Amino acid sequence: MGKLAIALSLLILSSQACAMDVAGVNVPSTVIIHQKTLSLNGSGIRRKFFFKVYVGSLYSERKLSTPAQLLADPGEKLIRMNFVYKKVEKEKIVEAFTEGLSNNSPILRWSSDAKAFLSWFKADFVAGDTVDIFISPDGTVSATHNGKVLGAFRNPDVARAVLLIWFGEKPADKGLKEGMLGKG
């Protein structure tokens, strides 16, 4: 019985060692999406002024260290936002995403699919909430908020524009960009 307890303790410790703690958020080393295992590429903290807003994590099928690699990669990608700030109003999230689209993909910002993407965010986010944005190889973008589906569409150009919110020339947060690319 003692050996079993020790073995279980080691198993629990080794599984915890694979996860990472960022600003009090347990960031798993892998996630399973659509029967595929994606690995943590990197994580960082989205800051606004002096406040920590959310922990952003990029999951992918292979290690990606530059925006060019990310955009050229044919694999699945997941951006996970774990909110740590007490309350982020929906208008602020939509404003931030709109700014990211305008700064990095100004022509696509006004497309019907970009507007559809922005329309998904109808609720405030509070500490403990998780928002997942999934980009598939065929250009499908989908999002969930605490596991509830917000929407989905297929448009490879807008899928690229959504990635550029975080990884474009003018990202929302340069430190977060570097962290999610594994350089933080």
DSSP result, 105-140: -TTGGGSHHHHHHHHT--S-EETT-EEEEEE-TTSE
> Backbone phi, then psi, for 59, in 5-degree steps?
-115, 140
CB 44 within 8 A of CB 22: yes
Helix (H, G, I), strand (E, B) or coil at 157: helix
Helix (H, G, I), strand (E, B) or coil at 147: coil
> pLDDT value at position 34?
82
Kind plus residue range of the DSSP H or E element containing 49: none
Residue recorded with tokens 């596991």 = 147
> pLDDT value at position 134?
97
Q: Which domains does the chain have, with CATH numbers?
A: 21-180 (3.50.70.10)
How far separated are the first and last CA of the chain, in Å rounded?
A: 43
What's the pTM?
Answer: 0.87
Residue recorded with tokens 């292979």 = 62
pLDDT-flagged residues of the chain (< 70): 1-18, 184
Residue 172's contacts (CB-CB under 8 Å, 6 or more residues apart) are 46, 96, 99, 100, 165, 166
> pLDDT value at position 10?
37
- Percentage above 90 pLDDT, the chain: 80
> Backbone phi, then psi, for 10, in 5-degree steps?
-65, -40
